[in-house]
A and B are shown apart, each in its own frame.
Chain A
Amino acid sequence: MQMQEDDKIFKVLGDKLRNYEAGEASDADWEAFQAVYPAKKEKKRAFIWFLFPLLGISLSLLAWFTYNYTFENKKTQTAQNKPNSVLSSSDLEKTPLTADSKPEVLSADSKSELSELSSNSKPTSQKLNNNNLLNSNKSKKVRSYNQKKSNDGNQIENKIESNFTGNSSKTINNTKDPLVEENKNIITPNKEKNDLTSINPIVEPKKDLEPKPAANTTPDQRKTEAEIKNQISLNQTSKNHGKEIDLSEIKSDVKENNLNANDTAVKPISEKQNNGDSSLISQVKTKQKLNVNLLMKHIDLNAMLAPGMSIYNQSLDAANLAGLGLGLAFGINKHWYVGTGVNYMYANTQSKIKKEVPHEYSSISKIDTTLKYDFSSSMIVMDMDTHYQKHVGTKIDELSIVRKSQVLSIPIIFGYSIGNQKTELSLFSGVQNDWLVEEYTTNNLATKATETFTNQKLLAAPLVGFGFSRKFYANWALNLGMDYRHYLSSSLDKKDYWRVQAGIRYHLK
């Protein structure tokens, strides 16, 4: 009984308080709340969504540096450690022979060059300076060595002599010299003298073997070349059957070829630097890593001026769009590329409520002005969409709604392209991050008062797409592409967007 009485007091108390409402919310109450809540929410979103571009940029840079470092490093290491394979012309260009280089087996192809070298009755210095000899595609494949230094002279002599015998298809790596005697019968005395002179510094004074500078070299270049050749020739002679064979001639020949063929590969090397392969290779590697021209060859620059032209699936009274952006695509290799950029878009739309709204505070008026397609002159994925087309009216008598949107977009894409010099087709995917700032201004029909709401959102959308690129003049190309993206944010009415875009690209190559 006591408990029932006790309950009755609290029951009355509860009944009176349970449904009691303490005043209505004022604008100040809402603004005070809004000042706290969006800040908290946006901060959290900012932390999450801005990870995407940061992650994308970081991965792109990491991929680029990793690729370039390993690629160049691999190339130089290959050139350095290739004992039994034929060096390519690029290897020879990028990895000049030094005093410590080990001569190996000459391949069969080398015979033509050696034949030319030995059969030519011109002075040796002229032959060594014959750029055509070493610049020909055939001769670039020639140089490979697989034997020790002590056998260098013997091998080379054998090769030269074997050429005189007409045995051109055979690679000679015999350390003995059975062909010497045989060839003595073939070579005429004068010719023999000339040929032996050309490869034996003992027969003629060393100074006569100095290669004459090429016609198109500068005095400084000639001087440097001569220094290098002297240095190498002084250190690189060996004996074979009583004859001293100067390997430096061939090596300096290669060196000279490098110097004459492409001066971007190797600069004149001082005596101090000419201590071995490692210093030279590191020099080459360092130079390539810092080569701005090499970097520029990978880059496409895309500048976008994007006057708006939008098609809406619902009628709008007015829609003005404008965008400006800049994009960059970095080619990782022939096919793969990474693209990023930044785009600013401004949109101004105005809608009028066509249907009269009942004079109650409860009315919800929706205006569907969903953007269906968007054409913009942007190369990479740029956005000109309007995210908040559906408007939920909060007040009666809304006469019109003016909505201003500003979007800053940062896409990160990875693409694969195929094609030729003129035309390219590319497929790409990535993520686009948008920072949306929008402002509603509503006009009240009854009071004629205007009220403004502002909203900020950070949005992210994975995307996929494809594009065509057609070069029309020099480094300029026209682009046409289409992409699809899906926004992850739950705050959008419409999350899926298709877009067709056209643009202009400038390739920095």
Chain B
Amino acid sequence: MKLAFNEKDIIEGCIRGRSDSQRVFFQYFYSGMLALCKRYAANEDEAKDLLQEGFIKVFDNLPKFRGESSLKTWVSRVMVNNALNYIKKNNKIQFVSFDSSSDLDFADDAEYVEDLEVIHPEMLIELIQGLPAGYRAIVNLYAVEGFTHKQIAEALGIAEGTSKSQLAKARIFLKKSIDKIKVHADARG
């Protein structure tokens, strides 16, 4: 049962420090924001830590919300920024090399797109969590948040070219991961 909430009243209550309003807010955004945090985190525990910190920042900054975007977009943005800060703070933007030498060229992409559409999102999140933190951030920012390479470079403090090259490597990593899932699924019959 999804909570439909009176945005204005709840925001007002949260700003005034009402615990009951905060609870409604927390419950309303919890699911979506947890999924967001999982994509940026390496595991479930790290995701919950990010979520908790993110909500604290959301509540603290709620008086600054001007309604220029939807509340969900604003909350997501706060959460993403919090996650990126966490990654940068912990020096996790390291583009470690992995085996990207592959014959998986771009011509095969159509096949992988079909595969992606049938894979459960939770499994896709696990695939992303398997990426090194730097690559994970770039994939998330590019694919999910819709950032351009320039914006990614600014957000992470890297060169634009680095963003492009690392995204290409991440794409190959994802393809390989999808292959593994398919093999595993075939083996299970």
Contact = CB atoms under 8 A, between A and B. Distances in A.
Contacts of A292: none
B125 A362 contact: no
Nearest to B119: A16
Nearest to A24: B31
A455 B52 contact: no
A24 B23 CA distance: 13
Q: Is the interface of B mostly helix, strand, loop or mixed?
A: helix
A9 B35 contact: no
Contact of B26 (A25, A388, A489, A492): A25
Contact of B20 (A37, A392, A490): A392
A290 interface: no
B30 A29 contact: yes
Contacts of B10: 364, 392
Contacts of A40: 56
Nearest to A455: B19
Interface in B16-55: 16-24, 26-27, 30-32, 34-35, 38-39, 52, 55
B121 A25 contact: no
A453 interface: yes
A313 interface: no
Interface stretch (B84-92, B93-101, B109-117): B109-117
Given A9-B113, A9-B116, A33-B55, A25 B32 contact: no
Contacts, number: 150
A362 B4 contact: yes
Given A32-B52, A41-B17, A13 B124 contact: yes
A20 to B, nearest CB: 4
B56 A453 contact: no
A48 to B, nearest CB: 14
Contacts of B19: 34, 38, 453-455
A407 to B, nearest CB: 16
Contacts of A82: none
A37 B56 contact: yes
Contacts of A8: 109-110, 113
A9 B31 contact: no
B26 A362 contact: no
A52 interface: no
B15 interface: yes
B113 A16 contact: no
A120 to B, nearest CB: 84
Interface stretch (B142-150, B155-163, B181-189): B142-150
Contact of B1 (A6, A41, A361, A457): A361
A5 interface: yes
Interface in B111-155: 112-113, 116-117, 119, 121-122, 124-125, 128, 139, 142-146
B35 A6 contact: no
A360 interface: yes
A187 B135 CA distance: 123
Interface in A453-493: 453-455, 457, 489-493
A215 interface: no
B17 A25 contact: no
Nearest to B21: A392
A490 B171 CA distance: 49
Contacts of B22: 34, 37
B120 to A, nearest CB: 9
13 contacts: A5-B107, A5-B109, A6-B106, A8-B113, A18-B144, A22-B38, A30-B23, A30-B27, A37-B55, A38-B19, A362-B4, A454-B19, A490-B63
Q: Which 9 pairs of residues, A with B, have the shortest CB-CB distance? A: A21-B31, A25-B30, A10-B143, A491-B17, A491-B16, A362-B4, A22-B35, A5-B109, A14-B143
